[in-house]
Chain A
Amino acid sequence: MSETITKSLSPMPQERLLQLDNVGVHFPTRDGLVKAVNGVSYHVNKGEVLGIVGESGSGKSVTARSIMRLQPKYAINASGTIRYRCKSGEELLINEQDRLGRTMRNLRGNEIGMIFQEPMTALSPVHTIGTQIMRTVMLHRNVSKAEARARAIELLTKVQMPRPNDIVDRFPHHLSGGMRQRAMIALALACDPALLIADEPTTALDVTTEAQILELLKRLQDEMNMAIVFITHNFGVVADIADRVAVMYLGRVVETGTVDEIFYEPKHPYTQALLQSIPRLGRSHGRRLRTIAGMVPDPFNVPTGCSFHPRCMHAVGGICDVQTPEDVVFASGQRARCHFAGQDRQAEAAQ
C-alpha cells in the first residue's frame, strides 16, 4: 500500500480511521442517471460506532459498498474522496484504487470486514462454515490448514456459537437465522479488521435474536477496539449501539451528531419528523402517529434546492426550493444540512 495522498487534501487527524468527503456515486440506467449518492461526507474514528440511518433509497448501503469498492461495474464514482488509515498508519485513497487490484483485495477482509442483512445470500451455500472462514484466514495470513481450522473454531467460540467444534463442519442451511448471522460475523472478524461495516445485520432477525446479536457486536467492538459503521433503518437499534449518528436522505447526509444530540436535540426537520413517526413502547397507545407528508421522491426527479423541501413542514418558499443548503455546524460539532437549522422555525411559521 504505497499510494500516497494527493497534496490538496489535508492529512486526516491521527485518530481518524475512515473519512469520506463529498462522495458521489451515480448509476446510468435506461431511464436516466440515478444519483444514488450525491455528496456524502462522514468520518469514523478508531474504535467508534457510527450509526447510519435513513429510509430505503437514501443511499446508505451504496455509500458503504463504495468504501469496500463493491459497487457494480457500471457505477460511476462521480466525485469525492474516501480515505482510510491502514493498520500500518498510512493513509490510503480508496477511491483511486483499482477495484480488482491487489490493494483492494488486501483491504477487504483484512483491514475492513463486512456483514450483510441476509446471511443466506452472503455465505456460500456449498462450503462449510469452517471452509469459508479458513479460506479467508489463509488468504491473508501465512498459516497452515490446521492452524486456520483452529482459528475458525476459536472465532466461532468468540461469537458464542453453540457447539463450535460441530458447527465448523456444517453448511449454512443447517443453521438458524441467528446462528448464520453469528457465522457471518465470525467470518468478517477472521483477520481482526480495524473497521467493520454492518449493513442492516439485524433487520431479518426476531427481536430476541436481534438483542443477542447487538450485545455480541457491542462486546466484540469493545474487546477488539474495532470501529463499526452500522447501517440500519431502525432508530431503536441505532440508539442502542451507536456513539455517533449520520442521518441520510436522498443520497445526502442531512444531519450528524452524537447519539444523544440526534435523539434529544435533532436539528434537521427530517430527523425531527422521523423520530416522531415511530411508535415508542409504553407511551404511544391510542395516540395518532405523526407522519411525514408525501413519500421519498423517485431518484430521477430529485427536488431542487433542499431535497427534503416538498415534505418539510417548515419549508420556506423562495429559499428552500431554490437554494441547496450547506451544513450548519454547531459548537458541539453537530451538523445539520438545513437553511434554518438552530433557528426557531415553528415560531416563524406561526407568525
Chain B
Amino acid sequence: MTTISKTSVPMHEDHIISVRSARKYFPVQEGWMRRVKGYVKAVDDITFDIRKGETFGLVGESGSGKSSIARLILRAYDLTGGEILFRRADGSVIDVSTLSDRDLRDIRREMQMIFQDPYSSLNPRMTLLDLVGEPLVIHGVGSQGEIRDRVAELLRLVGLRPEYLTRYPHAFSGGQRQRIGIARALALNPSFIAADEAVSALDVSVAAQNINLMQDLQEKFGLTYLFITHDLGMVEHISDRIGVMYLGRLMEVGPTDEMFAKPLHPYTEALLAAVPQPDPRGNRARKRVPLKGEIADAMNIPTGCPFHPRCAYADAKCRGEVPELRVVKSGRQVRCHHAETLDLIGVAAE
C-alpha cells in the first residue's frame, strides 16, 4: 500500500482525515472539438482536518462545493491538486488521492457515504438483504448465512425489523429508506462516514428521529462524521466543528458554539441572519437585512475575496487581494482581511 511522500507534514495523531490544499477543477468544454474554454473551480485550495470521533459539519449554499469535498475524500472524484490523508484503523496514514483501484477498494471498507435522496440511492429491484448485504458480498465477508445474520443485525441497529429482509425499498417511507442507507453504510464497520444532506429530504419529526439515530450509532461505534447540509439549525445541533464554504473555498472553520455565537467571517454572519427562526417575536425584533445578490458564477469567480461583491464590509483591499485562510484565535480560522476589526453578530445562546 502506498505510503505518504516524505515532504508531507505528518498528520496529527487525533486526526482521521486531513485535507491539504485540495483542488478540484472541472473543465468546461465547447464545440465539437471539445476545446476547453475554462474551468469551474468546484474546490479551490481547501485545507482542514477532521478529528477522530467528532462530527465535522460543512455548510454553504448550493454550488459552494461541499458535496465535491465528500466525493474527493471518498475518491469518487480525482483531485486536481493537493492531498487527502486518511488514518486507517490500524494507525497507518495513506494519501487517498494516489491510491490504486485495488487499494481503494480496501480503503472503502473504512469510509462510507450516506446520500441525500433515499429514493434514487436505493436500487428498486433489490431487496433489503441484497441492498444492505451488497457491500459484504463485494468484500467477500462471510457465507450467505452469515451475511443474512449480519444484515438482520444491521437492520435491528437502525430500528428496522429483521423480518423486512425480503422486502423492496418501495415498501418503505422516506425516513425508513434513509435508515436502510445508514445500515448499508455501516455494513463493513467503517470508521468514517460522509453524510451528504442525509436528512434534508425528510419531514421534521422523521429528521429528528434519524439525527438521534446517527448520534447513537456514533457513540456506539466511535464513528467520525462529515455532515454536509445547508440547514444551519441541523448542523449546529449535530456538529462539534463547522466549516463554512463559499464558491469552492472555506471561509471559516471553528468550533460550533464559538462560531455561531460570534462569527468571524461576514458570510457566516449573513448566513446565520438569513435563517428564519421558529420564533415570531424574535423575527419581528430582528429586522433582517437579506444578503444582496446571488452566489457568483463558478466560472467567473470575482477577483480578490470571492465574497466581496455581496459583502457589506468590503473595501479596496477585498476587491484586489485574495485573503488566505489564517488562524485568528486558537482553534478558529477565517479567510477575511478584516476578521480582527469586524464586530459580527451571531445567534445568541439562550
Contacts and interface: CB of A to CB of B under 8 A. Distances in A.
A207 B281 contact: no
B268 to A, nearest CB: 12
Contacts of B295: 206
B272 A291 contact: no
Contacts of A346: none
Interface in B249-281: 256-257, 260-261, 270-281
A322 interface: no
A260 B283 CA distance: 11
Contacts of B175: 295
A295 B257 CA distance: 32
Of the listed residues B208, B261, B348, the one surrounded by the most CB atoms of chain A closer than 10 A to its CB is B208
A290 interface: yes
A243 to B, nearest CB: 10
A240 B283 CA distance: 6
Of the listed residues A208, A214, A259, the one surrounded by the most CB atoms of chain B closer than 10 A to its CB is A208
A319 B260 CA distance: 46
A11 interface: no
A202 B33 CA distance: 40
A291 B347 CA distance: 24
Contacts of A233: 203-204
Contact of A282 (B203, B261, B271, B278): B261
A58 to B, nearest CB: 9
A278 B290 contact: no
A278 B204 contact: yes
A328 interface: no
B212 A291 contact: yes
A190 B258 CA distance: 47
A102 interface: no
B205 interface: yes
B237 interface: yes
B42 to A, nearest CB: 17
A275 B206 CA distance: 13
B233 interface: yes
A282 B350 contact: yes
B62 interface: yes
B176 to A, nearest CB: 8
Contacts of A296: 173, 203
Contacts of B11: none
Interface in B161-199: 173-176
B90 interface: no
A19 interface: no
A289 interface: yes
B236 interface: yes
A207 B294 contact: no
B61 A206 contact: yes
A281 B283 contact: no
A263 interface: yes
Interface in A270-303: 273-275, 277-292, 295-296
Given A239-B283, A273-B205, A296-B203, A284 B236 contact: yes
Contact of A206 (B203, B230, B256, B261): B230
Contacts of A207: 61, 230, 232, 271, 274-275
A178 interface: yes
Interface residues of A, number: 48
A284 B233 contact: yes
Of the listed residues A279, A286, A287, the one surrounded by the most CB atoms of chain B closer than 10 A to its CB is A279
Contacts of A211: 273-274, 276, 288, 290-291
B276 A239 contact: yes
A62 to B, nearest CB: 16
A248 B206 CA distance: 16
Interface string A232-247: 0111110110100000
Contacts of A240: 276-277, 280, 283
B276 A237 contact: yes
A295 B206 CA distance: 7
B279 A239 contact: yes
B349 interface: yes
Nearest to A292: B205
Contacts of B347: 281-282
A212 interface: yes
B208 A291 contact: yes
A279 B234 contact: yes
A55 B205 contact: yes
A176 interface: yes
B288 A215 contact: yes
Contacts of A280: 233, 277-279
B209 interface: yes
A304 interface: no
Of the listed residues B176, B270, B275, B295, the one surrounded by the most CB atoms of chain A closer than 10 A to its CB is B275
Given A234-B276, A281-B277, A291 B348 contact: no
B211 interface: yes
A240 B288 CA distance: 10
A41 interface: no
Nearest to A281: B347
B205 A282 contact: no
B346 interface: yes
A128 interface: no
Contacts of B205: 55, 273-274, 277, 291-292, 295
A210 interface: yes
Contacts of B278: 235-236, 239, 263, 275, 278, 280
A209 interface: yes
Contacts of A278: 204, 208, 233, 278
Nearest to A202: B276
Contacts of B271: 207-208
Given A206-B62, A233-B203, A295-B206, A281 B260 contact: yes
A287 B215 CA distance: 11
Given A240-B283, A274-B204, 11 more contacts: A207-B274, A207-B275, A209-B61, A234-B276, A273-B205, A278-B204, A282-B236, A282-B350, A284-B237, A289-B237, A295-B176
11 contacts: A55-B205, A176-B294, A206-B62, A211-B288, A212-B290, A235-B278, A236-B276, A239-B280, A260-B280, A280-B278, A289-B237
Interface of A: 55-56, 176-179, 206-212, 214-215, 233-237, 239-240, 242, 259-260, 263-264, 273-275, 277-292, 295-296
3 A-B pairs with least C-beta separation: A282-B347, A236-B276, A279-B237
